[in-house]
Structure 1
Amino acid sequence: MKKGILDVLKGKFLVSGDAPRNWLFIIFVSFLATVMIGSSHSADKKVHQIAALNEEVKELRSEFVDLRSDVQRLKLESTITKTVEGNGLYPSETPPKKIKVKSEKD
């Protein structure tokens, strides 16, 4: 067993008679390791991209809430009254009256 470990450490399996088979296996393992490293980098990149998109969604949602509250404030009667006073329009002093029409059928 000691001789086997020394042979591996010295690299004799790379120059022995069946070396081409060992080299093909080493190239295959290297290719698989490269693919694995590349896929893990791709997954990490996607995770960072998802995190950035989630932050953007949070920002857009808060902007939407702010704008919606501004629009609701602008729709208030007091705000509209102040806006149209600049054009010379004022609210009526007398309340509106209902007009009832009697038909001949009744």
Structure 2
Amino acid sequence: MRNFLSFLNIDFLAGKDSFKNWKMLLFISLLLMTSIYSSHSADQKIFFITELNKEVNSLNSISVSTKVDLMNVKIESKVISKLKDNGFKNSDNPPTKIIITD
């Protein structure tokens, strides 16, 4: 009971062997600050990774939509309809294969 009361009166910090206790408190405080810093650093990295994943998903969706738009532009019927406005028309004759022999 007496040890508990001396702890409550903070005799361990002001007594004869208080220097050992102060060193231990300083060491524990340093460990606590290191742990808190490490935790905050990990949280910041998690938030940064989350932002990067959102950006990757956004860029991926833009890439997919661009590919779909390109596929629609390359469709033969759409190319023919756009070229008709400029005066081009579909050929009635099939293409001729040119064979070169050495």
Say yes or no: TM over 0.5: yes
Task: Look up the match of 1:104.
Answer: none
**Residue type of the alignment partner of 1:72:** M
Rounded Cα–Cα distance in structure 2 between residues aligned with 1:100 and 1:84? 26
- Structure number with bigger Rg: 1
Alignment CA distance shift 1:91-1:11 (3 Å): same
**1:19-65 deviations in Å (ceiling 9; x for gaps):** 11111111111011001000000011111111111111111111111
**Which residues in structure 2 correspond to 1:15-54 (within 5 Å)?**
15-54=14-53
Q: Which runs of 5+ in 1 are unaligned?
A: 102-106
* Root mean square deviation, CA, Å: 1.9
Q: Which runs of 5+ in 2 are unaligned?
A: none
Task: Look up the match of 1:11.
Answer: 10
Rounded Cα–Cα distance in structure 1 between residues aligned with 2:95 and 2:54? 54
Aligned length: 100
Task: Look up the match of 1:89.
Answer: 88
Rounded Cα–Cα distance in structure 1 between residues aligned with 2:17 and 2:97? 108
Rounded Cα–Cα distance in structure 2 between residues aligned with 1:56 and 1:48? 12
Rounded Cα–Cα distance in structure 2 between residues aligned with 1:100 and 1:75? 26
Moved over 4 A (4+): 97-101
